[in-house]
Each structure stands twice: as C-alpha cells, then as structure tokens.
Amino acid sequence: MPLDVLDDLVDYWHTGYDWRTFERRLNGVSQFRTCIDGLGIHFLHCRSSRADATPLVLTHGWPGSIVEYLDVLDDLVEPGSADVPAFHLVVPSLPGFGFSDKPTTTGWGTEKIASAWVELMRRLGYDRFTAAGGDWGGVITTILGGRFPEQVMGIHTTLAPAPPGLTTDGLTEVELSWVAGSHDFATHRTSYGKEQATGPQTIGYSLVDSPVGLLAWILAKFAEWTDTEGSPFETISRDAVLDNVTLYWLTRSGASAARIYWESWNSLDPDLRVGVPTAISIYPHDIEKWPLAWVEKRYRQIVRWQVQDAGGHFPSLEVPDAFVRDIQESLTAVLTAANPPGTHSPTGGHRSS
C-alpha cells in the first residue's frame, strides 16, 4: 500500500468523510437481528411489492460487508420493468462481521453459516429460496446449493471453485491464462489469507487497535482486486471504501471477521457437488477464475455461464448497473430451470421471525 495513497485517504477520513451520511442511509433500510445457535445475526430484509417476487439470500465476503450491496438493493427489490424478476432480499452480515455477533467458540465456518442461512430464511417464511454471493459468500452459496437442494431452488455465484485434480488438456489459451492467474494468486498473493487462517488473533490486535492499520489492510485488497489501472477510486468512491472500513472500525470486527479464514481456509469439501440450477458469472479482473470444463465437474446443472465485460472482485460496487442485470438475467435462467413452464413457482410466504 503506497504511503502517499494511504496518507491522502487518511487525511480525507479525518477531515472530510461523514459517517453520519452513511448511517442515515443504512437506517433507511429495514434491518433486524435474530439469534441462531446462540449467535446474534444481523441482516437486511427488503420485501418487494411484487406478488411474484422470489426470496434471495445475498451473501458478502471479506474484506467486504453489507456495504457492498446497498447500491443495488432497490433495483433488485423493485425493478422498473415487469419483465425482469423481483426479489424479497435478505442480506445477512456474516458472523463476526458488522452488526452480527462475534463468535466466542470455534465452529462458525462456511458449512455452519450455510445451515444458519437456511434457518434464517425459514424463520422469515421462505421455505424455498435462491442464493447468490461472491468471495466467502460464493463459497457459502455453493454449500447452500449442494447441501440444501430441498430449500434452495438455485444459485448464482461469482466464485465457482472447481474440484481438485483436473487436467489442463484441451483448454483454450484464455482458459489457460485463467488457470495460471489463479495459481499465481494462490501462490504469491494470499499472504493476507494465510495470516488470517493461521494467526487471526495476532493480526487482529492491529486491526482493532489502529484505524490506519485496518484501512491499509483492507484498502490494499480494494486496490489490487478491482478492474482499474491502479486506484480503486477509478470505479469505487472514496466514501464507499470508507463506509466499509468504518463499519469494521466502529464494530471492532477486524479480528473477528478475520477468523472466517481460520475456520474455513481450504475447507470446501472436494467431493461436494451442486445439482440445483446454477448461474456463474466471471468478472475479468476477479482474483480466481476457472474454466467451464473444470467448474462443471462440481456444478452439475449450469444454466448460465457469463463472462462479463468489466469488473473485478467487487462488481456490485464497481459496476452496479451491470451487476443488477447479471443477477436478474442469471436468476431468470435459474428459476426457469427450477420451475419449467406449467409448474408452480414456490417463492415462499412471509411470517414474523
């Protein structure tokens, strides 16, 4: 993280940034907390006025938060056209992130989080729902599709990890470049993940004690993982980055959020297979991209495979309009496959939690 970049942003954070603006914006969204397996879970719940709306649980990752999705809520819940799907949107804060509780026991890895999301959706009256996400949210979404086909109608993910042990024979030059780039990322650019997977408590002291340390730790990922020439502020505003970092700072969640790596690093079951309808989107500057021939070994019913024109690891912040269209078109394909013409579409009811 270059010193001059950090200096400039720290100065703006100190003298120009206004948390209260974000606070008012967040307070304009319906928010709730519920206790699942002894842990308080915070979530946004935005119901559509459309009678044909589909329940959708949308899961963020690290170093993101619910901030990632605030710009796209309205268009997903109340789209301007009746020709595109509307969603009853549920956006939880991962355990240890934001306004969710910090686990005080081990075990809150991606498998348990996926189970918690099923229970959350059940409490809201959504016995059948769709799921989407990226980063850790993509892993959790994959587990939802693989482990809970009775509840999950289908999924959309921007992270589609292939099972291990596949050959590069027959791959195109573009696909070979994806494999090489993903391998390079895993080998040379995951020091942050290995630190959080092996010593989250140690780095955690810095992340909850020093606002500049926290900012540098998170900003480096926004700078490296976005589809830009060097500065994330080419596509994501300074305020949006600081909204996300300030949420971490005020909730003192730098250490507790890091623990998802300790719980779940390389833990995705290599034998997990996803049989529900699946849509997968590849954003060109994302950190891991795998060929379709590999991905379809895990995801057995891919109904939409889309390589996007622009965007990186944070598409809902970088290219929000394209991301909304992507979700709408992807889940249209998913729902069509899950509910062929002439069948009833079970979108779930609603009851108080």
Contact, 238 vs 12, CB < 8 A? yes
The domain ranges of the chain are: 22-187+264-338
The C-alpha atoms of residue 261 and residue 221 are separated, in whole angstroms, by: 15
pLDDT of the residue at 343? 59
**Nearest partner of 48 among 99, 93, 82, 23, judged by Cα:** 82
Residue of 84, 105, 93, 99 lying closest to 65 (CA atoms): 93
Q: What is the pLDDT along the chain (353 residues), one digit of tens a residue?
A: 889 999 999 999 999 999 999 999 999 999 999 999 999 999 999 999 999 999 999 999 999 999 999 999 999 999 999 999 999 999 999 999 999 999 999 999 999 999 999 999 999 999 999 999 999 999 999 999 999 999 999 999 999 999 999 999 999 999 999 999 999 999 999 999 999 999 999 999 999 999 999 999 999 999 999 999 878 899 999 999 999 999 999 999 999 999 999 999 999 999 999 999 999 999 999 999 999 999 999 999 999 999 999 999 999 999 999 999 999 999 999 999 998 776 555 555 444 33
Per-residue confidence (pLDDT) for residue 120, from 0 to 100 = 98
HEC states along 66-110? Answer: HHHHHHHHHHHHCCCCCCCCCEEEEEECCCCCCCCCCCCCCCCCH
**31, β-bridge pairs:** 44
87-92/278-282 β-pairing = unpaired
Cα–Cα distances (Å) from 211 to 66, 67, 248, 251, 342, in that order, read 20, 18, 10, 12, 56
Query: Is domain 22-187+264-338 given the CATH code 3.90.1150.10 in the classification?
Result: no
Report residue 39: phi and psi, to 5°: -120, 130
Q: From the CB of residue 223, how many other CB atoms can be counted at a distance below 10 Å?
A: 17
- How many CB atoms sit inside 10 A of residue 269's CB? 14
Output the pLDDT for position 353.
Answer: 34
Contact 43, 77 (CB under 8 A): no
**3-state class (DSSP) for residue 222:** helix
* Contacts of 282 by beta carbon, 8 Å cutoff, 6+ apart: 158, 289, 305, 306, 307, 308
| Angle, in degrees to the nearest 10, between helices 254-264 and 110-123 | 110
| Contact (Cβ atoms closer than 8 angstroms) between residue 155 and residue 278 | yes
Residue 343 to residue 41: CA distance in whole angstroms: 35
Chain centroid to Cα 205, Å, comes to: 25
- The single-letter code of the amino acid at 38 is G
pTM for the full predicted model: 0.96
